[in-house]
Amino acid sequence: MHVEFKPTRDSIAAFADDYVATSPRVRKHIFRMRLFFGLILLPWGLSYAFLGKPYAGIVPSVLPVLLILLWPRLVAWSTRRSFARENEASKRPPWTSDRPCRLAIDAGKLVLSNADLETQIAPSALEALHETSSHVFIYTSPNAGIAVPRAHVLSGNLEEFTSELRARMDAA
């Protein structure tokens, strides 16, 4: 069973967005930073008002509120940018080239290949499998994986492939 697809640069951004949305590590980071902004910075800013200097406390009071509200978006933007930079910095980013990639289940292993490279991964080593309306994300570690764009599948049935892969991951 196999799926052949053409990787796209948009898949990197989609993978970063999925990582931010589903990673427990990122959620914990966002929670901790919001706690820091709310419990440390906000009281510090509000203390100016109690000291009789209300105008001096405007910026230190408003900044933590803005950071509490905007921090998830800043994390998503930063992660998307970081993933894209890592891919661009790679001397040879094979999974975002113009060549099609083939994803197959062969001899009990997940095999990802294109004209330049081939990598094999045991289903027990896979972290997670997330599906969205535009992509299928196969996580090979907590922050790395394979993004298969649904719109760019060239051959094979992606739904059957993901069902088979999920069954093998559950059995491992």
Nearest one of 148, 112, 141 to 126, comparing CA atoms: 141
* pLDDT tens, residue by residue, 20-40: 888 888 889 889 988 888 888
For residues 82 and 102, membership in a common domain is answered with: no
SS3 105: strand
User: ∠ at Cα 144 (139, 146), nearest 5°?
Assistant: 55
Q: Which of 64, 89, 114 is the last residue of a domain?
A: 89
What is the chain's alpha carbon radius of gyration, rounded to the nearest angstrom?
22
Where residue 156 sits, what CATH number does that domain have? 2.30.29
Nearest one of 93, 86, 73 to 143, comparing CA atoms: 86
Q: Are 7 and 142 in contact (CB under 8 A)?
A: no
For residues 70 and 105, membership in a common domain is answered with: no
SS3 62: helix
* pLDDT tens, residue by residue, 89-105: 665 555 556 678 888 88
Domain count, the chain: 2
Could you give the CA distance from residue 166 to residue 105 in angstroms, rounded to a whole number? 11
The one-digit pLDDT tens for each residue of the chain (172 residues) are 888 888 887 888 888 888 888 888 888 988 998 888 888 877 877 787 777 777 777 777 788 888 888 889 998 898 888 887 877 766 555 555 667 888 888 877 888 888 778 888 888 888 889 898 899 999 988 878 888 898 888 888 888 888 888 888 887 7
For residues 122 and 64, membership in a common domain is answered with: no
- Structural domain harbouring 36: 14-89
Q: Give the pLDDT of residue 28.
A: 92
Q: Which of 89, 116, 137 is the last residue of a domain?
A: 89
For residues 97 and 152, membership in a common domain is answered with: yes
